[in-house]
């Protein structure tokens, strides 16, 4: 124990000195780390949708953007000014962050999601600026690759250390809680946030290079990095490439368009493959590294057709359902991958600095403005929404016209209308559709919470009096109800009995007649030992599917029927039909009826 304390006393002055130097070099980054961590802790304890929750969310997002922004500014200043600068260039980032903070909505919470999408784009763009911060001008030398290689490996090492240390401390906290019967409610999350938000940046920044001139010296290629690329990245690229090319041949053989899900494996392949190319960049001109030269030669050629496959897949989705942020960004990434493939094949000595530059510019340009992902997607989905309303007869001359009676929509149209409205409200807020649905007099006080888009959409669909027609093959198969109350024509009938199949477990006795709904048909018999007979209702059911309303008059909900020499008249009060799972025939799922005997 004394030896441990002695070592701590010996190393503490050096640790204190290194910490002071680190704070002096990156004060603004550490301020953002502490502020963001405090805001994250506050978010854990607060309820979504409250005013303070939105305030803390804005602080957290702003502080997170400040980390790469201030890092890029500091590295740029250190490479430009060899002496200690009199004025810190980080002051330039303060008004930028303040502008972003006040740009955010005061109602920031789980929705609208476009705020998180813009934030993610800005984060990626700023990390691109970090990559080129010290090498914006001049010829691209080896220093650019060495700097990014060092901060990449430092980030990976920091993440490993942070993960192991956090897991150990969490287990120690759990042990203390169990042994001493403590009640640590938010202690685990607070510890996790401190490790991720404060320890991780401190450990990472301690390893950032200071001597930028030394980076220009051509050092031997790191063996661990070479092994990582050969053993981990290259096999992953080969597996994904094989799967995607087999899928491509399947598309060509079946003459079918690619599905939207193809985007994920293509993006994974491109991300892993381009990372491998960037890591292998110094080996491109070394004759003894034949495998690296082979990989860098053939991967761009293999990626080009797959990027076209991605673009075709997204084009089909956009043509059918319009543009969304994910499809917009997918098209942007697909076009960038195709451009990267051509540039890598045609200009093999172009370097790699243009990669983070182009990505950063694309992210900044698509985060805001009339050409941004949010603006283009919002306009496209609003057109989709108006088109669906007009096709359903719910909008005339740009004005909502709620129907007097309940309106049935085909299942696909109903689901598209519901999902489009839910998307617009969740992603862009209720303001984008408020003008369309103002005349419905919605009570927006009842749609707050974690998912206000769901409540708002339900209110709109209810005010429009829309019901979904269950369908398997595009035909109208709704639930039908009888108009009116309990006034039934009983003259000429000597008995009246009621039957409800949803209340009967399997079969029910209706007077002296047994009835049930089974195998998509209404069945009846007089005695338990008699075989079941199907009640002939095909003509009635076929005529119901031609109706445009779900509330049907009495004469269209009635039928005559004979069994065992006795005559019956059936009046349905409720019918639910569906397609059979095998042949798609019209089947009865459940019903309630009044059985009258003459």
Confidence tier at 216 by pLDDT (50, 70, 90): confident
Considering the domain architecture, whether residues 239 and 314 belong to the same structural domain is answered as: yes
Residue 177 is assigned to a structural domain of this protein: yes
pLDDT on residue 328: 96
Q: Mean pLDDT over all residues of the chain?
A: 83
What is the spatial distance between Cα 376 and Cα 330, in angstroms, rounded to a whole number? Answer: 13
Examine residue 438 and say whether the peptide bond preceding it is cis (omega within 30 degrees of 0). Answer: no
In 136-252, where do the E strands start and end?
Answer: none
Question: Considering 434, 469, 504, which residue would you say is the last residue of a domain?
Answer: 469
Q: Span 152-179, mean pLDDT? A: 91
> Higher confidence at residue 206 or residue 492?
206
Question: Considering 469, 500, 525, which residue would you say is the last residue of a domain?
Answer: 469
pLDDT in tens, 452-480: 777 778 888 877 877 776 555 545 456 67
Question: Considering 433, 450, 469, which residue would you say is the last residue of a domain?
Answer: 469
pLDDT in tens, 174-195: 888 888 777 776 678 889 999 9
Confidence tier at 134 by pLDDT (50, 70, 90): confident
Residue 25 is assigned to a structural domain of this protein: yes
**Given the DSSP bridges, would you call strands 566-579 and 479-482 parallel, antiparallel or unpaired?**
antiparallel
pLDDT on residue 395: 81
Range among 49-58, 82-91, 285-294 rated most confident:
285-294
Q: Span 284-300, mean pLDDT? A: 86
Residue 5 confidence (pLDDT) above 80: no
Q: How far apart are the first and last CA of the chain?
A: 102
pLDDT on residue 3: 60
Backbone phi and psi for residue 502, each to the nearest 5 degrees, phi listed first: -75, -20
Residue 67 is assigned to a structural domain of this protein: yes
Confidence tier at 84 by pLDDT (50, 70, 90): low
**Given the DSSP bridges, would you call strands 479-482 and 551-552 parallel, antiparallel or unpaired?**
parallel
Considering the domain architecture, whether residues 553 and 588 belong to the same structural domain is answered as: yes
Residue 122 confidence (pLDDT) above 50: yes
What is the spatial distance between Cα 296 and Cα 273, in angstroms, rounded to a whole number? Answer: 9
Residue 493 confidence (pLDDT) above 70: yes
Q: Does the CA dihedral 287-288-290-296 come out positive or negative?
A: negative
Lowest mean pLDDT across 123-137, 190-204, 392-406: 392-406
Q: Span 86-101, mean pLDDT? A: 87
What is the spatial distance between Cα 40 and Cα 194, in angstroms, rounded to a whole number? Answer: 10
Q: Span 232-261, mean pLDDT? A: 82
Q: Span 284-290, mean pLDDT? A: 81
Residue 365 confidence (pLDDT) above 90: yes
64, 29 contact by CB (below 8 A): no
Considering the domain architecture, whether residues 70 and 169 belong to the same structural domain is answered as: yes
pLDDT on residue 106: 55
Considering the domain architecture, whether residues 195 and 102 belong to the same structural domain is answered as: yes
**CB environment 561-593: b (16+ within 10 A), e (fewer):** beeeeeebbbbbbbbbbbbeeeeeebbbebbbb
| C-beta atoms surrounding 508 within 10 Å | 17
> Higher confidence at residue 495 or residue 125?
125
Considering the domain architecture, whether residues 148 and 240 belong to the same structural domain is answered as: no
Residue 2 is assigned to a structural domain of this protein: no
Q: Span 333-348, mean pLDDT? A: 92
What angle, 0 to 180 degrees and rounded to 10, lies between the N-to-C axes of helices 187-194 and 27-45? Answer: 160
Residue 146 token pair: 């060495």
Residue 474 is assigned to a structural domain of this protein: no
pLDDT on residue 474: 45
Considering the domain architecture, whether residues 137 and 262 belong to the same structural domain is answered as: no
What is the spatial distance between Cα 225 and Cα 235, in angstroms, rounded to a whole number? Answer: 15
Q: Span 280-300, mean pLDDT? A: 86
Considering the domain architecture, whether residues 205 and 228 belong to the same structural domain is answered as: no
Considering the domain architecture, whether residues 450 and 337 belong to the same structural domain is answered as: no
Residue 537 token pair: 């209702």
**CB environment 369-384: b (16+ within 10 A), e (fewer):** eeebbbbbbbebbbeb
Considering the domain architecture, whether residues 177 and 155 belong to the same structural domain is answered as: yes
Tell how far CA 521 is from the center of its chain. Answer: 42
Considering the domain architecture, whether residues 28 and 156 belong to the same structural domain is answered as: yes
Backbone phi and psi for residue 528, each to the nearest 5 degrees, phi listed first: -65, -25
Residue 171 is assigned to a structural domain of this protein: yes
Residue 439 is assigned to a structural domain of this protein: yes
Residue 33 confidence (pLDDT) above 90: yes
Considering the domain architecture, whether residues 463 and 500 belong to the same structural domain is answered as: no
What is the spatial distance between Cα 164 and Cα 106, in angstroms, rounded to a whole number? Answer: 38
Which residue's structure tokens are 């053989």?
253
Find the domain containing 592 and state its range: 479-597
| C-beta atoms surrounding 56 within 10 Å | 21
> Higher confidence at residue 145 or residue 504?
145
Residue 485 confidence (pLDDT) above 60: no
Count of domains forming the chain: 4
What is the spatial distance between Cα 126 and Cα 143, in angstroms, rounded to a whole number? Answer: 20
Residue 3 is assigned to a structural domain of this protein: no
Considering the domain architecture, whether residues 241 and 342 belong to the same structural domain is answered as: yes
Confidence tier at 29 by pLDDT (50, 70, 90): very high
What is the spatial distance between Cα 124 and Cα 67, in angstroms, rounded to a whole number? Answer: 12
538, 520 contact by CB (below 8 A): no
pLDDT on residue 307: 93
> Higher confidence at residue 551 or residue 100?
100
507, 575 contact by CB (below 8 A): no
Residue 490 confidence (pLDDT) above 60: yes
What is the spatial distance between Cα 210 and Cα 220, in angstroms, rounded to a whole number? Answer: 20
């Amino acid at each position: 124990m004394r030896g441990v304390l002695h070592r701590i006393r010996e190393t503490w002055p050096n640790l204190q000195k290194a910490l002071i130097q680190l704070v002096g070099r990156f004060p603004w980054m550490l301020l953002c780390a502490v502020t963001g961590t405090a805001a994250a802790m506050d978010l854990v304890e607060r309820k979504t949708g409250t005013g303070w929750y939105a305030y803390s969310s804005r602080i957290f997002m702003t502080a997170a953007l400040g980390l790469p922004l201030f890092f890029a500014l500091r590295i740029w200043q250190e490479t430009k000014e060899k002496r200690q600068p009199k004025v810190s260039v980080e002051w330039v980032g303060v008004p930028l962050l303040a502008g972003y903070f006040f740009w955010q909505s005061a109602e920031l919470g789980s929705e609208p999601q476009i705020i998180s999408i813009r934030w993610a784009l800005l984060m990626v763009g700023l990390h691109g600026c970090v990559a080129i911060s010290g090498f914006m001008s001049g010829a691209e030398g080896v220093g650019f690759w060495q700097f990014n290689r060092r901060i990449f490996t430092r980030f990976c090492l920091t993440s490993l250390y942070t993960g192991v240390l956090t897991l150990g401390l969490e287990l120690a906290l759990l042990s203390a809680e169990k042994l001493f019967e403590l009640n640590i409610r938010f202690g685990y999350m607070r510890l996790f946030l401190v490790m991720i938000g404060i320890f991780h940046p401190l450990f990472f920044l301690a390893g950032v290079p200071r001597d930028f001139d030394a980076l220009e010296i051509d050092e031997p290629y790191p063996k661990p990095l070479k092994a990582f690329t050969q053993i981990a990245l290259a096999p992953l690229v080969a597996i994904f490439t094989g799967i995607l090319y087999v899928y491509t041949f399947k598309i060509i053989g079946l003459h079918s368009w690619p599905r939207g899900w193809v985007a994920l494996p293509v993006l994974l392949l491109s991300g892993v493959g381009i990372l491998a190319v960037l890591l292998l960049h110094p080996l491109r001109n070394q004759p003894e590294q034949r495998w690296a030269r082979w990989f860098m030669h053939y991967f761009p050629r293999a990626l080009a057709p797959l990027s076209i496959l991605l673009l075709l897949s997204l084009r089909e989705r956009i043509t059918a359902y319009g543009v969304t942020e994910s499809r917009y960004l997918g098209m942007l990434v697909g076009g960038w991958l195709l451009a990267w493939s051509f540039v890598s094949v045609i200009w093999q000595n172009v370097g790699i600095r243009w990669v983070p530059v182009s990505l950063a510019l694309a992210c900044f340009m698509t985060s805001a403005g009339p050409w941004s992902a949010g603006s283009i997607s919002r306009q496209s989905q609003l057109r989709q929404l108006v088109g669906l309303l007009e096709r359903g007869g719910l909008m005339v001359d740009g004005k909502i016209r709620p129907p007097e009676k309940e309106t049935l929509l085909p299942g696909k149209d109903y689901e598209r209308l519901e999902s489009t409205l839910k998307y617009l409200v969740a992603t862009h807020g209720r303001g984008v559709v408020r003008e369309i649905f103002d005349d419905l007099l919605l009570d927006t006080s009842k749609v707050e919470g974690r998912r206000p888009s769901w409540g708002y959409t339900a209110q709109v669909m209810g005010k429009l009096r829309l019901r979904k027609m269950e369908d398997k093959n595009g035909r109208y198969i709704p639930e039908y109800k009888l108009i009116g109350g309990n006034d039934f024509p009983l003259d000429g009938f000597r008995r009246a009995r009621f039957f409800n199949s949803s209340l009967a477990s399997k079969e029910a006795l209706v007077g002296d007649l047994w009835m049930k709904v089974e195998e998509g048909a209404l069945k009846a018999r007089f005695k338990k030992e008699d075989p079941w007979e199907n009640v002939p209702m095909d003509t009635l059911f076929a005529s119901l599917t031609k109706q445009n309303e779900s509330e049907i008059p009495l004469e269209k909900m009635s039928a005559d029927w004979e069994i065992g020499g006795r005559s019956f008249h059936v009046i349905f009060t409720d019918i639910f039909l569906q397609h059979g799972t095998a042949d798609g025939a019209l089947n009865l799922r459940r019903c309630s009826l009044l059985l009258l005997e003459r």
